[in-house]
Amino acid sequence: MNPPRARDLALTAPALLYLTVFMIIPLLLMLYVSMLERAPFGGVIWGDHTGVAYQKLLFERDLAGNLSFNGDYIAIFARSFRLAAITTVLTLVISIPTALYMTTLSRRRAAFVLFLVTVPFWTNLLVRNFAWILILRNGGTLDQGLQWLGLTRESLDILYTPLATGIGLTYSFLPFMILPTYVALERIDKRLIEAAFDLGADRWRVLSRVVLPLAMPGILAGAILVFVPCLGAYVSPELLGGGKSLMIGNLVQAQFGASRNWPFGAALALVLVAVLMLALLLWRFLQRRMVRTA
């Protein structure tokens, strides 16, 4: 392999330099801050290195200075995982039939549906989540609609629950799943499907033994694209979840806002990144195994 030419290196240098200064260095700085002591009014005390921020994830220190186990933060991590996993599964369940349907459309119509799916993806996340407040809140459009139909009399009390966060997350990230699933299904050689039918397979078998395995890399890519931002979500739980369904993102934000505990916030953010890296490695592993079997 030839070493890159000077011209190519020079052309890529600005981007590399920029992202090193404003992405790599901030992440390294975060790692360093997570090992420092907090200063009383935000910021950090330079010099002393401690593991206090990481200890705080699992233990709390009472007034007498004794450590005892504290499961509060673990519970928030667990909730975030649960919500991210449920959202990923829900978007998958909606996306596969939707994408299958799109592959049956004419080129022109498929492009139009693709456009309809893409538009919400590019519109403002904050505004789209705010719209759900109008729908879900007590006396909101959902309540009004159901009462008008005579289905309910009372408010459903959905807003400010984990259910509302789940709806917001599914809504926010559904396009991330539909797009790669559609691309993967579209690429399948249609003759393979015909061959399976000719050999006597029924619809379900063709789907489970031919179509889905072939589309699996795309579906997994979609799953990662949904799971990653969900786990670090901030906007949906902040606007729709209320105080009882905090996620990791809100916990990180709180350390830089009201709690003024930068080292703990940095440690939380790093644990989040570490967990996501593990998920990505698992994904790579699964994808490689699937390529080998296919």
Partner 1 sequence: MPEQNLLSGRGNAFIAMAALVFLYIPIVTLVALSFNQNDLTTIWSGFSTKWYAAVLDNSDILRATKNSLIVAAVATALATATATATALGVVRSSSAHRGGVEGLLSLPLLVPEIVTAVALLMLFVLTGMPLGLLSVILAHTVFCIPFAYYPIRSRLAGLDPALIEAAADLYASPWKRFVRIELPLLSAGIFAGALLSFISSLGDFVITYFVSGPGSTTLPVYIFGMIRTGVTPEVNALSALFLLASVVMITVAFVITKRVADVARAGPAP
> Residues 109 to 148: which contact partner 1 by CB under 8 A?
111, 113, 115-120, 122-128, 130-135, 137, 139-141, 144
Q: Does 2 bind partner 1 (CB under 8 A)?
A: yes
Kindly tell me which of 10 and 58 has the beta carbon lying closer to partner 1. Answer: 10
Contacts of 134 (CB under 8 A, 6+ apart): 140, 141
Report residue 111 CA to chain centroid gap: 26
**Selection from 73, 126, 75, 124 nearest residue 237 by Cα:** 126
Residue count at the site for partner 1 (CB under 8 A)? 95
Q: Are 74 and 58 in contact (CB under 8 A)?
A: yes
Kindly tell me which of 69 and 122 has the beta carbon lying closer to partner 1. Answer: 122
Supply 210's token pair.
Answer: 């031919």
Kindly tell me which of 40 and 65 has the beta carbon lying closer to partner 1. Answer: 40
Kindly tell me which of 72 and 194 has the beta carbon lying closer to partner 1. Answer: 194
223-262 footprint of partner 1 as x/- string (CB under 8 A): -----xx-xxxxx---x---------x--xx--x-----x
DSSP-assigned letters across all residues of 85-131: HHHHHHHHHHHHHHHHHHHTS-HHHHHHHHHHHHHHHHS-HHHHHHH
Site for partner 1 in 30-49 (CB under 8 A): 30, 33, 43-44
| Minimum CB distance to partner 1, residue 227 (Å) | 11
Site for partner 1 in 203-222 (CB under 8 A): 203, 206-207, 211
Q: Does 74 bind partner 1 (CB under 8 A)?
A: no
Site for partner 1 in 260-279 (CB under 8 A): 262, 265-266, 269, 272-273, 276
Kindly tell me which of 63 and 190 has the beta carbon lying closer to partner 1. Answer: 190
Q: Are 137 and 157 in contact (CB under 8 A)?
A: no
Q: Are 222 and 179 in contact (CB under 8 A)?
A: yes
Binding partner 1 (rule: CB under 8 A), the pick from 45, 280, 282, 291 is 280
Kindly tell me which of 1 and 63 has the beta carbon lying closer to partner 1. Answer: 1
Site for partner 1 in 143-182 (CB under 8 A): 144, 171, 174-175, 178
Range 90-106 burial, b when 16+ CB lie within 10 A, else e: bbeeebbebbbebeeee
Percentages of the chain per state (helix, strand, coil), in multiples of 5: 75, 5, 20
| C-alpha span between 65 and 210 (Å, rounded) | 61
Kindly tell me which of 100 and 290 has the beta carbon lying closer to partner 1. Answer: 100
Q: Note the residue count of the chain.
A: 294
Supply 79's token pair.
Answer: 């909730």
Binding partner 1 (rule: CB under 8 A), the pick from 16, 74, 78, 291 is 16
| Backbone φ and ψ of 253, nearest 5° | -60, -40
Binding partner 1 (rule: CB under 8 A), the pick from 27, 67, 281, 282 is 27
| Minimum CB distance to partner 1, residue 239 (Å) | 7
